[in-house]
Copies of this chain bind each other. A is one copy, B any other.
């Protein structure tokens, strides 16, 4: 490939309320290594998952505008709650293409499910919005949406392998299964509708029947971004993106403690985060 100069590079803004969206960035880097990335975690105001639609929309629009002000040509809303509650508001406020993670998650569920009955695990706000149920329905999928409010705190506490987390998961999954049974549904696919949940993939694998497929939207989102940028001619056909050994340039921004972002964020990104800039969104 030809190395891109700074001015050629497409600038991709990735937004989340916190650290979970770094799993989406992680999937993007090998897909589009020629891009320059701007990641914003609105850590001063997280979690979004327990807040109202109006508040989440206000926060998400401010965050998207900040990324645009840094020159982002394309925005990925890597936060399920913001994608579920605020995608229309962000698109109305933005001047660049905006992609959320709900649609891409539903796409991958549609590709994976044989029974056409899908379980979506998500935050309370995402579940209340029924955005996943609607997105799944466009593919002819039925879905059970199960709110799991304790999983994010357990993950942030680092209790990834704890018996407590196992017990909480068991309770949530049993409640979801009971709901599915009474609705006559045969779940064969679990969609992780929160960017924190992939860190519980191991525990979920143990807790679920062997033939259940577990999906998260990070990978399908990254592929969709690549396809869209190609179709928009923003990504030159000539570049061979996958397998590039260059490390893309990433800029990190947070609205609360940059130290905490470096520490927790590195766990989600799967590689060290060196520099984080503290941003004031006025909130």
- Which A residues have a C-beta under 8 Å from some C-beta of B? 43-45, 50-52, 55, 149-150, 152-154, 156-157, 159, 163-164, 167-168, 171, 255-257, 260, 281-283
> A45 CA to B17 CA in the complex, in Å?
12
Whether A164 contacts B168 by the Cβ 8 Å rule is yes
- The residue on B at minimum CB distance from A151 is B153
- As for how many copies of this chain the complex holds, the number is 2
With A44-B45, A167-B167 already in contact, the answer to whether A50 and B156 are too (CB < 8 A) is: yes
Whether B45 contacts A283 by the Cβ 8 Å rule is yes
A150: which of B43, B45, B157, B163 is its contact (CB, 8 Å)? Answer: B157
Whether A51 contacts B256 by the Cβ 8 Å rule is yes
For the complex formed, measure the closest distance between the CB of A56 and the CB atoms of chain B, giving whole angstroms.
9
> A166 CA to B50 CA in the complex, in Å?
23
Chain B residues lying within 8 Å of A45, measured Cβ to Cβ, are 44-45, 283
A163: which of B52, B55, B167 is its contact (CB, 8 Å)? Answer: B167
Whether A156 contacts B149 by the Cβ 8 Å rule is yes
A-B contact pairs, 11 of them (CB 8 A): A43-B51, A50-B156, A51-B257, A52-B257, A52-B260, A55-B257, A150-B153, A150-B154, A150-B159, A150-B164, A282-B282
For the complex formed, measure the closest distance between the CB of A89 and the CB atoms of chain B, giving whole angstroms.
16
For the complex formed, measure the closest distance between the CB of A27 and the CB atoms of chain B, giving whole angstroms.
26
Chain B residues lying within 8 Å of A167, measured Cβ to Cβ, are 163-164, 167
5 extra interchain contacts, Cβ-Cβ under 8 A, other than A43-B51, A149-B153, A163-B167? A44-B55, A44-B283, A51-B256, A281-B283, A282-B283
Whether A164 contacts B171 by the Cβ 8 Å rule is yes
> A283 CA to B255 CA in the complex, in Å?
11
> A154 CA to B163 CA in the complex, in Å?
16
Chain B residues lying within 8 Å of A171, measured Cβ to Cβ, are 164
> A1 CA to B238 CA in the complex, in Å?
87
Chain B residues lying within 8 Å of A150, measured Cβ to Cβ, are 150, 153-154, 157, 159, 164
User: Top 7 nearest A-B pairs by Cβ distance?
Assistant: A283-B283, A52-B257, A153-B153, A44-B55, A55-B256, A51-B256, A52-B256
